[in-house]
Amino acid sequence: MSTITTEFMGTAADAGLSTDQYLTFLLGQEEYGVDILRVQEIKGWERATEIPNTPDYIRGVMNLRGTVIPIVDLRRRFDLAAADYTNTTVVIVLRIEGDTGTRTMGFVVDAVSDVYNVAAENVQPAPDFGARVNTQFIKGLAAVDEKMVILLDIDRLIGLDTVFSTFDGIADISHHNVPNSSPEETE
Amino acid sequence: MAIDVTKFHQTFFEESLEGLELMESGLLELEVGADNNEAINQIFRAAHSIKGGAGTFGFTAVTEFTHLLETILDRRRSGQAEVTQEAVDVLLESIDVLREMLSATRDGSELDPAEVVGVQARLQELVDSDLPAGGAAPVPSPAVPTPTSAVDAGSGDAVSGAALGTWRVTFKPQPHLFRTGNDPVRILGELAELGAYTVVADTSALPALADLDVESCYTAWTVELEGPTEQSAIEQVFEWVEDDAEITITRLDTPAVPAADPEAETAPSEPAAGADADGPAAAPTDTERRTGGERRQAEAAHGPATATTTSIRVDIEKIDTLINMVGELVITQSMLQELAQGNAIDLEKLQEGLADLERNTRELQGSVMQIRMLPISFSFNRLPRLVRDLSGKLGKKVELKIHGETTELDKTVMEKIGDPLVHLIRNALDHGLETPEVRVANGKPETGRITLDAYHEGGNIVIEIADDGAGLNTQRIVAKARERGLVGEDDQLTERQIHDLIFHPGFSTAETISDVSGRGVGMDVVKRNIVDLGGVIEVESAAGKGSRFRIRLPLTLAILDGQVVRVRDQVFIVPLVSIVESILFDPSLTSSLARGAGVYRHREAAIPVIDLSESFGIPPAAETADTPPLLVVVEAEGTRAGILVDDLLAQQQIVIKSLKTNFRAVPGLSGATILGDGTVAMILDVNSVLGLYRQTL
């Protein structure tokens, strides 16, 4: 499925239409977007099995048809106020490309919102907040229907997080203080 | 050429390495002076295919090297020369070199040029010494290659020092040439690229039209060639047909002063340049300059640096079984579907169907596992060579007996058991077996015996390595252990405890350190490797009679027998191999040490008590524990500990899923699995849990 879509999008891009499609989701009042080609599926929240000695935004692992995938709570990852999981709470399963290969991960968000076509010229770079706020994993801000959508660079979000990069088996448990930023502050 | 040959490289390397193994075992079977025709033929064929493949991909150094091998083998095959001990030795060495050349070419790393040149020179010597002075070589042997061309895998050698010359080449193909897929016109065309030439066709053998077989070649050619080329370059053109044709190459003029001319690079070496540029060989650095052994170790430590795809050869029968199983599964599925569509569901039939489904699934799992199974001979095959080399070095006479080499084992387990096996065999030879004189003095046959045996037992594979040597010297072991303070002066040890001492890190009783063994880094590593695989190693020994090592390994690493336990509201799997026993936790038997570390009195020994809810930070469950806690006594690397759990659930086979695939390795866990209800449960790595526990103290 995804390969077909990829090819289709590839030809569209070749034809000079530099529009990307984004799946957007809600965290509190904010709307965030991820590249739709990375979305594998959207599933309802089920209880995950906790992984010991990991930061609290790692909710654990889930069984995705025989594959064990880690689940990241994006609210907690962005230091937003915790919210109860409701029946709109979903897990967006994304494909992450990193130095060590492709990984599949689930992200807990409040609700799925919409799919937008975003033209490249409508994307502004994320404002520089200096050292106080890390905006490295924000691809840009897109204006859609007079709303502002924060486009996430999901690969960087995971790639910059040391929690995911300790592969040597003797993981340093003190790695919990990940450089954090709260996109909420971008307002 | 539009075909990207690099994608066939992997296959070539795999096949060549397999071929080398064939050659090696063939060589070991050769008996000096006897009639070895069949064996030599086999070795020759293997060498020939390596040479052919290397030629196709332009690995010139490999081609040249194998060509020498082939010449030597061919002479012995045709009875022109004798199979001498010396010849076998050189051939065996050349196989080692060839193996290194192949892996160096594959990994794009460099290898020690001196070694290659040295062995190549010895091969050449052998080729030369075969012939009485003035005798004509039946196969034209190439000039001794310059050192650069020998090492520089993948770049043509025809470039260096090519001088203008005049050559006469006669080419008389055998009638079956066309059937081998070779085209004389192409060959002649390649010759034309080497310089100005005139060609005369000899059609005298051509029969009348009525008798003409269009698939046979009747023509012969004489070519006069004038150009800046060398004999080896011309030989290269005929590389593919030299066995199917009579070829003579003679130089008509006297050699002139060599003049470098890069234009002389011949067609066959062109793909070489391509392959060179594709691979990382283009920029080998000094750090990559390692010996094969070091490199292997480095790979084992860091994992392969480049993403190499490993493949496996599967017996077609196994695939057929698999297809049958899937067929049955499909039938069961459609049966169940039909049942579900009926108006009233027949419960009995449904249960029957589900039972079928369960059986099918189990069988299917079994057959899929079978695919990863390889006969253990893959590991055993390298041992005869080792025994041969070592016995020579140590001056001992040894006979190696191998049984059960068809016993099948998971590929991953196999890869990891190779080194421990080598170690054990080495030890048996060095420490176990006595020298012939001592053996005779003790009334034993002069030739020692090492037996290697593999068989299945339950869900395990057992490998036994036995020797009829001196056995473990218990007195010396105890003395050494006392000296090192491993054992108290007055401690009385059982036979078994003494034997277990040899697995202690840094323990060696060898009086002299040889390059074979005695450094005391060995048995502990062997044991650790086996324990890492979820296996056990035991030793039995009788003074003067010999020792026997028994390795028991799980058949596969993908599945393990696990005990499902509950800690608060979380479920974990403890591998059954790690569990000594599970007992009711009696609080009166504990004593608290500093900082909350508890010690439990268990069978006269004090073992630490590990509370997983503490190590793993599990929050207390909502309701209070209604069952008294249990203590699961586990053992890892000789250390025992008790793990507190709230409940023991099922014992079942667990399919291991790596956490690294999508997340990363987690301390204390060896992976995860999916339970029957679809939820994920973590598998404890007992050794690592003990490590975590010590850290938190």
Write the pLDDT tens digit of every residue in A59-72. 999 998 888 999 99
Average pLDDT over residues B656-660: 84
Q: What is the largest CA-CA distance in chain B?
A: 108
Residues of chain A contacting B662 with CB distance shorter than 8 Å? 67-70, 103-105
Strand (E) or helix (H) holding B532: helix B523-532
pLDDT value at residue B528: 82
- Which residues of B have a catalytic role annotated? 48, 70, 427
Assess whether pLDDT exceeds 90 at residue A38: yes
Distance, CA of A163 to CA of A172 (rounded, Å): 9
Q: Which residue of B has its CA nearest to A66?
A: B674
Encode pLDDT of B271-303 as tens digits: 434 334 443 433 433 333 333 334 444 343 443
Q: How far is B661 from chain A (nearest CA, A)?
A: 7
Is residue A55 classed as helix, strand or coil in its secondary structure? coil
pLDDT value at residue A70: 94
Distance, CA of B631 to CA of B643 (rounded, Å): 5
Taking 3-state DSSP, the helix, strand and coil percentages for chain A, each rounded to the nearest 5, stand at 20, 40, 40
CB atoms near residue B135 (< 10 Å): 9
Taking 3-state DSSP, the helix, strand and coil percentages for chain B, each rounded to the nearest 5, stand at 45, 20, 35
Average pLDDT over residues B526-538: 83
Strand (E) or helix (H) holding B415: helix B411-427
Give the count of alpha carbons within 13 A of B432, CB side only.
29
Q: Angle B85-107/B113-130 helices, nearest 10 degrees?
A: 140
Chosen for mutation from B308, B680, B692 (greatest number of chain A CBs closer than 10 Å) is B680
Give the count of alpha carbons within 13 A of B658, CB side only.
12
Measure CB to CB from residue A70 to each of B570, B658, B663 and give the nearest one. B663
Q: Identify the DSSP state of A149.
A: E
Measure CB to CB from residue B679 to each of A63, A67, A171 and give the nearest one. A63
pLDDT value at residue B258: 43
Residues of chain A contacting B694 with CB distance shorter than 8 Å? none
Encode pLDDT of B468-510 as tens digits: 888 888 888 888 788 777 777 777 777 777 888 888 776 665 5
B355's tokens: 């039972």
- Mean residue pLDDT of chain B comes to 76
Is residue B131 classed as helix, strand or coil in its secondary structure? coil
Encode pLDDT of B366-413 as tens digits: 788 778 888 888 888 888 888 888 888 888 888 888 898 888 888 888
pLDDT value at residue B137: 40
Residues of chain A contacting B558 with CB distance shorter than 8 Å? none
Contact B667 A165 (CB under 8 A): no
Distance, CA of A162 to CA of A178 (rounded, Å): 7
Distance, CA of B572 to CA of B568 (rounded, Å): 10
Beta strands in B546-660 (DSSP E): 546-554, 559-567, 570-575, 579-584, 590-592, 598-602, 605-611, 630-636, 639-645, 647-655
Backbone φ and ψ for A159, nearest 5 degrees, come out as -65, -35
Percent of chain B's residues with pLDDT above 70: 80
Residue type at B645 in one-letter notation: V
Q: Which residue of A has its CA nearest to B661?
A: A103
Strand (E) or helix (H) holding B147: helix B147-151
Q: Which residue of A has its CA nearest to B657?
A: A68
Measure CB to CB from residue B679 to each of A49, A70, A164 and give the nearest one. A49
- Mean residue pLDDT of chain A comes to 78
Q: Quick one: which of A133, A130, A106 has its CA closest to A41?
A: A106
Measure CB to CB from residue B668 to each of A52, A104, A166 and give the nearest one. A52
Question: Residue A13, Cα to own-chain centre: how many angstroms?
Answer: 23
CB atoms near residue B65 (< 10 Å): 26
Query: Please, which residues have CB within 8 angstroms of residue B294's CB and are 6 or more apart in sequence?
Result: none
Residues of chain A contacting B571 with CB distance shorter than 8 Å? 49
A75's tokens: 């609210």
pLDDT value at residue B615: 79
Assess whether pLDDT exceeds 90 at residue A34: yes
CB atoms near residue B338 (< 10 Å): 11
CB pairs under 8 A between A and B: 81
Distance, CA of B153 to CA of B288 (rounded, Å): 15
Taking any CB pair shorter than 8 Å as contact, residues of chain B touching chain A are 570-571, 615-618, 657-669, 672, 674, 678-682, 688
Assess whether pLDDT exceeds 80 at residue B309: no
Distance, CA of B282 to CA of B124 (rounded, Å): 29
Query: Please, which residues have CB within 8 angstroms of residue B42's CB and are 6 or more apart in sequence?
Result: B22, B26
**pLDDT band for position A170 (cuts 50, 70, 90):** very low
Q: How far is A127 from chain B (nearest CA, A)?
A: 31
Is residue A105 classed as helix, strand or coil in its secondary structure? strand
A54 CB within 8 Å of a chain B CB: yes
Assess whether pLDDT exceeds 90 at residue A94: yes
pLDDT value at residue B17: 83
Residues of chain A contacting B681 with CB distance shorter than 8 Å? 49
A166 CB within 8 Å of a chain B CB: yes
B689's tokens: 């849990």
**Whole-model pTM?**
0.53
Average pLDDT over residues B15-29: 82
Task: Kindly compute the dihedral angle of the four CA atoms of residues B272, B274, B275, B276, in this order, to the nearest 10 degrees.
Answer: 90
Measure CB to CB from residue B617 to each of A53, A61, A169 and give the nearest one. A53
Assess whether pLDDT exceeds 80 at residue A153: yes
Distance, CA of B21 to CA of B102 (rounded, Å): 13
Q: What sign has the CA pseudo-torsion B365, B366, B367, B373?
A: positive
Average pLDDT over residues B566-585: 89
